[in-house]
Chain A
Amino acid sequence: MAGEERSVKVRIDNVKRIFNTRNGEMVALNGVSLDIMENEFICVVGPSGCGKSTLLNIIAGLLEPSSGKVYCDGKEVVGTGTERGVVFQQYALFPWMTVKKNVMFGLNLKGIKGQEAEDIAMKYIKMVQLEDFINHYPKELSGGMKQRVAIARAYAVNPSVLLMDEPFGALDAQTRTQLQSELLETWEKERKTCFFITHDVDEAIILAQKVIIMSARPGRIKEIVDINIPYPRTQETKMSPEFLELKNHIWSQVYQEYLEVRK
């Protein structure tokens, strides 16, 4: 990436979010500012309840910040937009649609219909290697396959930013590792800006160029760690000394926050 001129894709400017709960106001995020660069892969880690998902929902336009602003390509984010794709932990596939129909859903909403929509859908279904399952319903798929469909569905509408909210959190370790490799492969090809939330430190380091560590409630950015391990990264990368050193550092930082939460 040396000497590469990169522009800011998403700017998060002093975002604060307050929730009204039964016990009064709860500050979920406070003073969060961050620039996500074009083509960048960012992972966010932090203890549960640190506002990671809240931040992602604000970038997606599913939640409004109480104060502060988010910009995407210089334009203020108001509501959702197809330039910001989201993959949810719970897959969120439409159970009454087949795999193909799920992937075509966003395309049809964009006005892309018929053969053109099918061709685009097939391209991304092939990308996630589910071409043998196009007419299956979600209930007939495993968790890993469901999440592949959700990823294909997000890619199909061609967003310029992918927001992923613990997408592999509900999967078993093996499937998770495999989906990580697939996601890395795709990212290295397409270099789509990625904002990826996880509670798994290993996952964050193997995927990201930058790991954002968030502090416990109210959520703030505690530290930004650059991951200077060159791509392509493989599972063997996890054995390298630099990986272990980063893991050690990030883990201890996150662990401190866990202790904060427990207090």
Chain B
Amino acid sequence: MLSYLTQRLASTILVMTLVGIFVFLLLHFSAGDPAAIIAGDYATPQQIVAIRQRLGLDDPLLVQFWRWALRVIQGDLGVSIFSNTPVSVLILQRLEPTLSLALLTMMFAVSIAVTFGVLAAWRVGSLVDRVLMGFSVLGFSMPAFVVGYALIYIFAIELRWLPVQGYRSIVEGVGPWLLHLILPTLTLGLAYVALIARMTRASMLDVLEEDYIRTAKAKGVATRTMLMKHALKNAGVPIVTVVGIGVALLIGGVVITETVFNIPGIGRLVVDAISKRDYPIIQGVILLFSGVYVLVNLLVDLSYTLIDPRIRY
């Protein structure tokens, strides 16, 4: 176990180093002068020269990378060009909405998707199964902003059941907070539900063919116990894996969902940075989100032994 842990940690560090190199090189190999990009569109030539000297852009690339990496490791993601505030501060200010949305979506999506996946596998070819499979193809084909606007139009504009846009902090009360997050959660969760439900169904179908399931049925175990204890537990590893991989889907979706629903989170921070060409923000958020993704998948790998004690490292 310990040797596996060290090995897995080492590969995680390697992957994050590579991500860092990619993100660093992105700025240096793109068309145009990095100093000019950082200075923004309205900078004078003198300002560009000043930035060039301040950031040491004339030093060898390797020296620059080392300096940059040291700062990133210490949590210094640079300073926003437009607001002149450290990127890490900007990210922290906008953490709550994004975290609320992502965690709520995850809880909602996993519970719905696993339930329907199990039901569909239990009754293959039934109406539930066919509706689920049809829905999942649809879930992969509908862009999040289309789903979002359709939901806003139906539930906020026509029916007036829910707020159109915006966000309320959880400190203002759980009610308004939840009310503002219902439609964004549905929007963000659709593709994620489709992905997890498909994998749950596939994995359950494999397990339901096993001899021990037949034995369980033969000795008269209640269907519910058979499905949840005997089958789902053994089908768990691929499901948890896809929950981890799907976090990439969530991250991309957060950016779009926050734009549609006007939620002041980290996704909106990036989108606002695009038009202002505020590159340090884009860079910082990419590093953060990639780090979260890699970390979640590390935890997923380590959780295999908990889900399935037969797996030992």
Genuine A/B complex: no
